[in-house]
Amino acid sequence: MSTRFELVTTPARLAEIGPAWDGLWSRSGLGIFQSHGWVTAWWTSRAASDRSTPCIGLGWNADRLTAIIPCATRRHRGVRVLEWIAKECSDYCDVIADPAATGSRAATAAVWAELSRVAAFDITYLSHVRPDAAIRLLTGEHSGRAVALRPGPRADKSLQVRAHGQNGHSWFRGLNKKARNNHTRGKRIVGESGTVNVRLYQPGEDIDAVLDRMIVLKRQWLASTGQVNRLLDDDARTLRCLVAELARQGVIQVFSLDCDDRMVAASVNILHGGRMQAFFATYDPEFDRASPGTLIMVEYLIWAFDHGFSEVDFLCGEEDYKYKFANAQTDLAGYVGARTLIGHLALSIGERLDRKRLAKEKIKAPAAVMEA
């Protein structure tokens, strides 16, 4: 099977290939983060400060799309980096290939070889790779022009809650007594200020008001902790576009915990492939004594398991609050490769710094264990 390569760098061409992209995406069984609409929403809503350039490799067999490597390039300290497109808002990343098609791996490898040849980058860093990701099949490829990919020193984790056949009620009853009592106590504390209500926003319902409130609260929390979230740049344009895309695809479920007419906590979740993913959440710090973030988590976990979802995924990150309920984890890998002499030098320096960082973390680990 002969693969014809195409490099997509313009919005017009991205729009044109939408049907072919989503046809391949549907066959691949991948999640929302690889859908054409998700990538388009990111592309059209990027903050003005985002200097990345889309660099999407396609493989065609006649008029049938057989492989997509969805990337972008940016400069970091003078080095040109090839990374996943929409990486900052996509917790799981991968190439898109048809697993049932004959020669699928060869087609994807051919696209990677051509992308390595024509794209202007020094190094590549492809992070957030699940254990079942198709990109793993390309690691160690040394076919001519292809940049060889190998595991990088950095890794991430995502945490999940799996139902194991339980419905929401039985899952909640299976929590330890302290967790159940904390939930009851938290709702009682919120109830001291008014009537408590857990609201589920229905498909097609206007969520602009709750999203506006979430953005305000999230910005307050980021300011208090000295953190940043690029989804909230430029009046949170990227977040708004991504949420609108989830609504368009019919895969969004918004939960809010209200006290009278005041939103205390809320979560924007993705429903896809029999799983729920907790995408964006926040809470009102004035109700901090009630642990409102935990309250809304329990509510959407119960709802998910009562509605037949097998898993709730907290997505990338190992924040402490996720461990309150998580009973599974997924190890996410990152892959690196160098294309130029500058790239090899930058990669060598970066890996040396990473080794020093890991060594320092190991030295501190025993003290942390003793304190625990």
Q: What is the pLDDT of residues 176-229, one digit of tens each?
A: 999 999 999 999 999 999 999 999 998 888 899 999 999 999 999 999 999 988
Examine the domain organization and report whether 171 and 137 are in the same domain: no
- How many distinct structural domains can be found in the chain? 2
pLDDT for the residue 118: 93
What residue numbers bound the domain in which 286 lies?
164-309
Give 367's pLDDT tier (boundaries 50, 70, 90). very low
When the pLDDT of each residue in the chain is averaged and rounded to a whole number, the result is 91
pLDDT for the residue 141: 52
Q: How many residues does the chain have?
A: 372
Give 152's pLDDT tier (boundaries 50, 70, 90). confident
pLDDT for the residue 48: 57
Examine the domain organization and report whether 153 and 218 are in the same domain: no
If one counts every other C-beta atom within 10 angstroms of the C-beta of residue 366, the result is: 9
pLDDT for the residue 216: 96
Measured at the alpha carbon of residue 38, what is the angle toward residues 50 and 30, in degrees to the nearest 5? 125
Examine the domain organization and report whether 176 and 221 are in the same domain: yes
Q: CB within 8 A of 172, min separation 6: which ones? A: 180, 183, 298, 301, 302
pLDDT for the residue 140: 66
Residue 147 has what DSSP assignment?
Answer: P
Yes or no: say if 40 and 14 are a contact pair by the CB < 8 Å rule: yes
Examine the domain organization and report whether 147 and 173 are in the same domain: no
Token pair 């051509």: residue? 114
Domain contains 237 = yes
Give 366's pLDDT tier (boundaries 50, 70, 90). very low
pLDDT for the residue 167: 97
Chain CA centroid to CA 266, Å: 18
- Provide the terminal-to-terminal Cα distance of the chain, rounded to the nearest Å: 58
Examine the domain organization and report whether 366 and 267 are in the same domain: no
Residue 51 three-state SS: coil
Examine the domain organization and report whether 191 and 220 are in the same domain: yes
Examine the domain organization and report whether 63 and 19 are in the same domain: yes
- CATH code, domain with 302: 3.40.630.30
pLDDT for the residue 372: 27
